[in-house]
Structure 1
């Protein structure tokens, strides 16, 4: 009897095939809503369209190593399955209150650990990058938009000053002699940055096996991407200014941006290839798993995943009406409001009206968990992002009894103030994170109070007068809704 199991010896394939088939079906059944939410973002945002390419690239990376992988046999192991248990809990909690960002990361991390547990340490050590590359399936990075917008505006102003072109900056609006330019969300360069990150990681894996070289290359590409986006925005301002806005915007704005991105990536890859390493493929030798490990891994994967799936199906979800109801029949319909642009989709009820003094009121209610839609989500906005930008933002009050104050400015220099807050039961906050935690608490305590959003806004010229009016309007709105109840 041999003392060790050679690599060429094959384990019976039927138990592993059954386990692989069962886990694949179970994973898709449990995480399908989360996977759908990721695909929906890929489909509707050009920033994340690269998500469609991530899985094919990972499969291609595995295919190019097919000769080496043919020497390996699946060796399920229990350690990654144990590490995946907290991810199931995180996913379940995030899914229950529609925090897509967290639930999507948890779903992908769980998939990576599932593959590791199914195929074993040797496979993962050899194919860690194709599996790790799947993290780019998750649409992340939008939180960096405000910072990137500020960096882009700083770069544009600095470059304009270098060529002695007069410019006045008001938040994200750049006033030149003949036009006003906005460093909008689309100008932040996030799409360039994420595409650069994906491509630079792939390039570094294919060309370097020294870690410091890979890290330096990725950091260099990201810095060049940010700088190139600033140069792109600067050139657009110069072209628009010199041509009296005849060139540089419209469809050519889109193509010009990707041309700059192509040039930056071409130069980065050309330079990076000069320092590439030989990267010979070696199969890592590790102990072969035992049948005991196989059984433990199967139990540790199948049972918790099944339990998470069952719990997710028992979560309550209120049916969402096709059209949100109106609470106040005496106020003008939303179509007659001033162009403030607050928008909250779905929901149970929604009212938006303007007083004779020019103060706007907004109020909407949501179930704590709905079949469709949620109060805190990416497409619910407190103002029209295309027409306004935030000059100042602050919080008044304590975290659980607070309201937010936004001072907005538009390209014409008009200033609008918005006071808003989210409410659940007796808790009132302007923090989206805190409100989500409150929703989680109420959901698992089976408390069914409605989730509410309140907002008042005014464009009065004197800031002090406007603030006093809005404070009075805020109390008026609360009292009006309390009376309706």
Structure 2
């Protein structure tokens, strides 16, 4: 009997279809990210690779005993709660991670400990389907800029760096999002993990190679950025300044992956001998034994879905008058420093004593309309980059610069009915608690800004107003709202 006709494969397909049907909306949002972002295009091949990995274990799977694991129901409930938390709080990465963790949990529950143990790595590799990691982009940009400047200094070329802008006598360069190397890092980590599993038998070798697959693209991306700067410098800015530098980048990455596999192949372990197939037809299809675990799964998941439908993100009826609350005069100009927040319920712009205000208010927390979202940016990243930052207990101040050398200071915090803080994670947690209690997840971004001048007068003005509003007025306003 072939792998495709075995009872094991049929069980796995059946569980997969049940999982896909139950979590269809989360899976759909995941695939939408795969389609939208080139960073996660590789996710489309994870499922075929997992099927191949399962096929490699066919002998062990057919020799295993099917015995449902009721202990796994504890982990199913925990995973379902995390999924529910992520879904109601609109933390997409948590929702998607819990969704994709649920499939191995369901396989463990229905097919038992032996099958789950055999498919342990496949279950881990399956999680590469989750589109996560873009939160590392700012740190990767900084690392790339550090390596590039260091290499240029070694070359002896005069270089000046401010934020993510790098200036040499021949021109000005920016370490943009596309230059962060996040695509190379995620792709290398994925391929390195698969290579380590297929070519090494010891855990130590596998861990070392996986770490190598993480460090190598980080260093290589810095060298790539340095190479682009040098090509542009030596060619009088004729080459490596447009699309050609992206092509060069992918060719360079291909060479890096080839080097990684070549180095890894030198210490590859011999392939293990094939095991004898004691049970060619696979475990007997004892459907009655699967009724109880399947029924338990259906009941648990149904309870979770019903709870979610009852408390589905209520909308706040409050429409705050921010101009009156904070005493600023409303303006409507479209300044270049403004944050980029998507689909807010309302936007308020104003000025008071030379300090500019920006407020993005959300009366709910639903998909594509979230106060805390990776797509929301505190400034226009196409024009500005961070020079420095300073954190207070309740607010954070950023100094940003554009490619013309203009500088601004931004002080901001997030406000919900329960919490005032600049920490986005704390706001997400506060909104999640509101969601679980069936309360509206309203909130807003409050930002103050001034242009940075040489006299430091504007900086002192912003600091005083930030202290007054963020540390004095907002806590009082929050207390009054909670009493009402």
TM-score bracket relative to the smaller structure: 0.7 to 0.9
Shift in alpha-carbon separation, 1:186–1:449, aligned structure 2, 3 A: closer
**Aligned partner (choices 62, 69, 89) of residue 81 of structure 2:** 89
Query: CA deviation digits over 1:333-362, x for unaligned, max 9?
Result: 3xx3221141111122122356794x4321
Which residue does the alignment assign to 1:4? Answer: none
Which residue does the alignment assign to 2:453? Answer: 461
CA-CA distance at 1:208 after TM superposition = 1.5
Q: Are residue 28 (structure 1) and residue 20 (structure 2) matched? A: yes
Shift in alpha-carbon separation, 1:463–1:182, aligned structure 2, 3 A: farther
Shift in alpha-carbon separation, 1:187–1:385, aligned structure 2, 3 A: same
Matches within 5 A, 1:267-282: 267-280=259-272, 281-282=274-275
CA-CA distance at 1:440 after TM superposition = 2.0
Q: TM-score, normalised by structure 2?
A: 0.84
CA-CA distance at 1:298 after TM superposition = 3.0
Unaligned runs of 5+ in 2: 1-6
- Contact between 1:418 and 1:455, CA under 8 Å: does it hold in 2? yes
Which residue does the alignment assign to 1:234? Answer: 226
Q: Are residue 381 (structure 1) and residue 373 (structure 2) matched? A: no
CA-CA distance at 1:194 after TM superposition = 0.7
Instruction: Write the distance in 1 (CA, Å) between the matches of 2:230 and 2:390.
Output: 34
**Aligned partner (choices 304, 307, 316) of residue 303 of structure 2:** 307
CA-CA distance at 1:123 after TM superposition = 2.3
User: What is the root-mean-square deviation of aligned Cα atoms in Å?
Assistant: 3.5
Shift in alpha-carbon separation, 1:312–1:18, aligned structure 2, 3 A: farther
- Contact between 2:316 and 2:440, CA under 8 Å: does it hold in 1? no
Q: Are residue 115 (structure 1) and residue 107 (structure 2) matched? A: yes
Q: Are residue 338 (structure 1) and residue 330 (structure 2) matched? A: no
Q: Are residue 151 (structure 1) and residue 147 (structure 2) matched? A: no
Query: CA deviation digits over 1:78-108, x for unaligned, max 9?
Result: 2223222211111111211111122222111
Shift in alpha-carbon separation, 1:117–1:250, aligned structure 2, 3 A: same
CA-CA distance at 1:331 after TM superposition = 3.9
CA-CA distance at 1:456 after TM superposition = 1.7
Tell me how many residue pairs correspond in the alignment. Answer: 458
- Contact between 1:126 and 1:282, CA under 8 Å: does it hold in 2? no
Q: TM-score, normalised by structure 1?
A: 0.84
Counterpart secondary structure, 1:140 = coil
Shift in alpha-carbon separation, 1:452–1:69, aligned structure 2, 3 A: same
Shift in alpha-carbon separation, 1:394–1:306, aligned structure 2, 3 A: same
Shift in alpha-carbon separation, 1:448–1:124, aligned structure 2, 3 A: closer
Instruction: Write the distance in 2 (CA, Å) between the matches of 1:450 and 1:147.
Output: 30
CA-CA distance at 1:164 after TM superposition = 0.8
Instruction: Write the distance in 1 (CA, Å) between the matches of 2:422 and 2:41.
Output: 32
Q: Are residue 352 (structure 1) and residue 349 (structure 2) matched? A: yes
Instruction: Write the distance in 2 (CA, Å) between the matches of 1:209 and 1:133.
Output: 17
